[in-house]
Structure 1
Amino acid sequence: MGPRWDPTPLADEIEVEAVSTAIGEAPAPATYDVRTVEVTVPLDGTSVRARISLPVGAPTPAPAVLFVHGAGTGKFSRAFTEPARALAAAGVVTMVPDKRLDTYTTSHRDYVAMARDYLHSVELLRDRPEVDPDRVVVYAESEGGWIAPVMAVEDPRIEALVLVSSPVVPPRQQAAFAVDAYLRNTGVPQAVFRAIPRAVGMSMPGGGFEYADFDVQPWQERITQPVLVVYGTGDASMPIVQGALQIRSDLAAAGNDDVTVRYYDGANHGIRVGGRVVPTYLEDLAGWVLGQPATADASPRVAGATPTQTYVAGPVPQPGWLRDGTVLLGLVIGALGTMALCAAGVGTTRVVQHATAGRRARQDAAPPRRYARGVAGRLALVAGTTVVTAVALVWYVVSVARLAVDYERNAWIVQGGWVAVRLLGIAAVVAAVLLARRVHDARQDGDVVAPGVVRTVAAGGVVLGSAVLLVVLAYWGVYQLGI
């Protein structure tokens, strides 16, 4: 019912020319006091606040760097504090605006529109008397790597780009790559990987998420400015080899070979080791920015620790069944709702029967009709085990996701939890078999399995709802024998 997950091994490698990440042609470092001011950036239809850090006593007009947020940041008070201050202390004016949030949601993000919003900040920087208007550099981290290339194309006056932990590939491909890497590190059973294309490849409930297939490559192929590409070798969420190679290839399409690549040993997504931004990275960044245009093609072109990337971040197979997340969610909610209504209907019927039991006894009426012996209990067992299995699967996915994000392992949860989910799934099927056997025996004995309209409809509803949930559980891998 869904595609297999078989990522392609990465055959390409990138040649690291030197261990030292120092930027050739970088000027001698200087140190200045830093003064900060807060400003308002007018945008189309709204405005955002921003913090500008100024080097006190540095030669003016100075180069400037505008910071573009990734997905995990949004306020200048918490984002880029270390690199912004380090650059300012080295003689570079820096600006960190708040992210515009009225047009930025989980289900809707327009990277081209976001780029145009950030260009308002570029213009504000250029109007500052401390800034050389022709020496504004754009620094983008993570998700910002889908925004900054658009800015560079739409404003060729931008001097250079710094792409830190840039995803490069479309968001859907990057998400699948990251999930795969995290799951492998967490040590999940192979059967779990098949859920990746089913989850990442389907449309999300409620619609939206069109940005999941945004392709930055056509924009990168039009970049004419120098680019500094930065990755940490400890960042499992990004295609750190493929990313640098693709940026070089894309810029070459525009006749641009001014690409400098730096890898920092053991650094994570934020170029941090032990929670602290790598000091040499801040020095290299300042040297590369201050040295423009001489550092645009400075040697070595690729330096630092040797990166490793096992698999290609490539297209995600699309599910053939249950591709629509709204349909999938509707099936689950519908199944649960149907079973709940059926239970409520039978319960109400029993209350009414008990309330009229005395009157029936006085009238020597027939005893109240019930399910054939053993049928009601096994219907409840089927519904209960199926629902518990579904809940257990959700618990397992959430628990593994937390371990994966924290880059941790826990065999009791990862391996033991998966065994528990599958055992519950088997119990649900056994319960269904027992119910079928009891119904068969009752019919053989001439008993009425489900007397009355309410009990007949309720029995059918429980069986149908449980069957739907069992199919959904099978779709997500509870019953599969291999990957």
Structure 2
Amino acid sequence: MLASTVLGVVVLAVLGAVMGPQWDPVPLTDPLTVETSSTAIGQAPATEHHDVRREVVSVQLDGATVEAQLTVPVGLSGPARAVVFVHGAGTGTYSDAFHEQARALAEAGVVTLVPNKRLDTYTLRHRDYVAMADDYARSVAYLRSLPEVDPERVGVYAESEGAWIAPVMAAQDPGLEFVVLVSAPVVPPRQQAAFAADAYLRATGVPHGVFRAIPRAVGMAIPGGGFEYVDFDATSYQRRLTQPVLMVYGTGDSSMPIVQGAVQVIRDAAIAGNSDVTVRYYEGASHGIRVDDQIVPAFLHDMTGWVVGLPGTAGASPKIAGDQPNQTFLAMPVPEPRWLHNGDVVAVTIIASCAVVLLAGLVVPVSRGAELAAVRRGGQRSGRRFAPGVARWTAALGAGAVVTTVGFVWYILVIARLALDYSSNGLVVTGLWLAIRVVGVLVVAVACLLSRSIVRNRAQHVPIAPGAARTVALVGVVGASAVLLVVLAYWGVYQLGI
């Protein structure tokens, strides 16, 4: 019995190992060294202070209209520099984004425009970054049409997901004066997602075995289709960046490749003959350059000084400054699962297998109910029963396989929530994982007991599952449970360091 269970676990462990890619991120061995701990921008002038006026305007897009908040410095002596803000992921509006940045720039004499994000073409499954760049270009055109704005001094400020859009805008419109990239992913979304998942899981303290799920989840085609944008690569656009670029990261932002991203933009811009890339790192700041949910004041001061001081600040030293960044692993292309690449197949397989187990559990009671009804009508009892032990172990196998699968899915959701909240819970992270694996091994033991019961009854010439209903129930539960055990093995429940 023990030997059979061990053999079953080993077989599942081997299957899980060979069915899909492992997760083995490459360490980053070429760190980016800051020139000074001060984030001050070289040659930044003393900034003026203006009162500002705000108004909500409409920007006409291709097939839609969005509202935008325009902030204009009061008392300008002539047409001024201007900035269009590009939102990160989510439903960005001028009422909930970029308040501090827009105010700081406007008070320093820069006209700012924060348009609402267009949402009729933006969903979780569909995002077209090139089309989004065209939409934001309409806001640039709007600013250039204003008498308060110098049309040759309009730039773009992009944060997070917006940093995939801004290089497209800059490549397609060389007349843009500058680009500010804040918390920029740089690498394609799928690579950034795997990198962030790895960092979150390490911060949460999950057992090493859970990491196998990263390439198998991130690398597969997502159930339901769509999500083509996850492989969008901005490299070709970054290699056409001729404008001065300011890149800003917080060293507490574990979701972004804060070293690799800066290095790549510096190299890409150099291909266009552009050496004017300035990089700043702010100590302990998270995504969006915030500490304790408050934007870092030094960032606002430095960013404003860099923008107002152009073109003098474009190539000023130091080029790379602030807190020393640390990135442990590279954000890399995600291995594609060999066998279970299709997410629809994975989802349907799990749901269908659980459904088969549950439905099979109803077949025999329904059949027995029909037999009892026949007896009450004057018929005879069939006398059909599962062979001794078969019914008990079959029910335990099906229930155990479903419970383990549901428990694993729930565990992944719990871990995801902890990771997104940057929190840890040792009892849940380690204890629940151990519990799932223990239950998984017990299910294998139950399968061995069922197999032994079948073999013993056959040797004694006892019918295993007499009648069509019992045969269907037995085959359904055993088959569906076997599929679920293989799926659990694929996601790492039975791994033995293989």
What are the within-5 Å matches in structure 2 for residues 417-432 of structure 1?
Answer: 417-432=432-447
Equivalent residue for 2:38, pick from 20, 25, 44: 20
Task: Work out the CA distance in 2 between the residues paired with 1:17 and 1:100.
Answer: 40
**Corresponding residue for residue 406 of structure 1:** 421
Aligned to 1:268: 286
Q: What do the CA deviations read for 1:414-461 (whole angstroms, capped 9, x no partner)?
A: 111110110111121111111111112221222111111121112101
Structure 2: where are the runs of 5+ without partners? Answer: 1-18
CA RMSD of aligned residues (A): 1.2
Asked if residue 5 in structure 1 is aligned to residue 20 in structure 2, the reply is no
Q: Distance in 1 between matches of 2:59 and 2:344?
A: 39
Structure 1 Cα separation of the partners of residues 166 and 57 of structure 2: 22
**What is the identity percentage for the equivalent residue pairs of Structure 1 and Structure 2?**
60
Partner of residue 53, structure 1: 71
Paired letter, 2:423: E
Matched residue, 1:174: 192
Q: Which residue of 1 aligns with 2:157?
A: 139
**Aligned residue number for residue 79 of structure 1:** 97
Structure 1 counterpart of 2:174:
156
Choose the corresponding residue for 2:126, options 108, 121, 142.
Answer: 108
Matches within 5 A, 1:180-259: 180-259=198-277
Secondary structure at the aligned position of 1:21 is classed as: coil
- Following superposition, the deviation at residue 213 of structure 1 comes to 1.1
Aligned counterparts of 1:344 and 1:217: Cα–Cα separation in 2: 56
Q: Secondary structure at the match of 1:95?
A: strand
CA distance in 2, matches of 1:167, 1:66: 20
Q: Any idea what SS the aligned residue of 1:316 has?
A: coil
Deviation at 1:400, TM superposition (A): 0.9
Residue 3 of structure 2 corresponds to none
Name the CA distance, whole Å, in 2 between partners of 1:456 and 1:395.
Answer: 32
Structure 1 SS opposite 2:73? strand
Q: Could you tell me whether the CA contact under 8 Å between 2:51 and 2:74 is conserved in 1?
A: yes
Question: How far apart are residue 15 of structure 1 and its match?
Answer: 2.3
1:382 maps to what in 2?
Answer: 397
Normalised by the size of structure 2, how large is the TM-score? Answer: 0.94
Of stretches 147-156 and 9-18 in structure 1, the one that deviates more from structure 2 is: 9-18
- 1:82-135, Cα deviation, whole Å (9 max, x unpaired): 111121122111111111111111111111111011000100111112111111
Specify the alignment match of 2:325 in structure 1: 307
**Are 1:229 and 1:259, in contact at CA under 8 Å, matched by a contact in 2?**
yes
Find the counterpart in structure 2 of residue 468 from structure 1.
483
Higher relative contact order (CA 8 A, sep 6+): 2
- Whole-Å separation in 2 of the counterparts to 1:340 and 1:394: 18
| Offset at residue 73 of structure 1 (A) | 4.5
Q: Is the CA contact (8 Å cut-off) linking 1:382 and 1:432 kept in structure 2? A: yes
Query: Following the alignment from structure 2 to structure 1, what is the Cα–Cα distance between the partners of residues 260 and 185?
Result: 9
Contact 2:47 2:308 in 1 (8 A): no
Secondary structure of the equivalent of 2:314?
Answer: helix
Contact 1:338 1:461 in 2 (8 A): yes
Moved more, 462-471 or 31-40: 31-40
Contact 1:190 1:482 in 2 (8 A): no
Q: Mean alpha-carbon deviation: is it higher for 291-300 or for 144-153? A: 291-300
Contact 2:371–2:381 (CA under 8 A) maintained in structure 1: no
Distance 2:413 2:175 in 1: 46
CA distance in 1, matches of 2:432, 2:310: 54
Return the match for 1:437 from 438, 442, 452: 452
| TM-aligned CA deviation for residue 373 of structure 1 | 2.3
Residue 451 of structure 1 corresponds to 466
Q: What is the TM-score with the length of structure 1 in the denominator?
A: 0.97
Runs (4+) of structure 1 exceeding 6 A deviation are none
Task: Determine the structure 1 residue equivalent to 2:55.
Answer: 37
2:145 is matched with 127
> What letter corresponds to residue 413 of structure 1 in structure 2?
V
Match of 2:309, as an amino acid?
Answer: G
> CA–CA distance in 2 between the matches of 1:439 and 1:244?
63
The range that moved more, 409-418 or 58-67, is 58-67
Q: Distance in 2 between matches of 1:393 and 1:212?
A: 26
* Stretch of structure 1 that moved more, 206-215 or 471-480: 206-215
Instruction: Quote the offset at 1:209 in angstroms.
Output: 1.2
Range moving further from structure 2, 271-280 or 342-351 = 342-351
Establish whether residue 327 from structure 1 lines up as the match of residue 342 from structure 2: no
Residues 359-387 of structure 1: per-residue CA shift (max 9 Å, x gap): 45xx5x34442212222221111111111
Report the CA distance between 1:41 and its aligned residue: 1.0
Distance of 1:41 and 1:424 partners within structure 2: 58
Give the superposition deviation at 1:30.
Answer: 2.0
Matched residue type, 2:432:
G
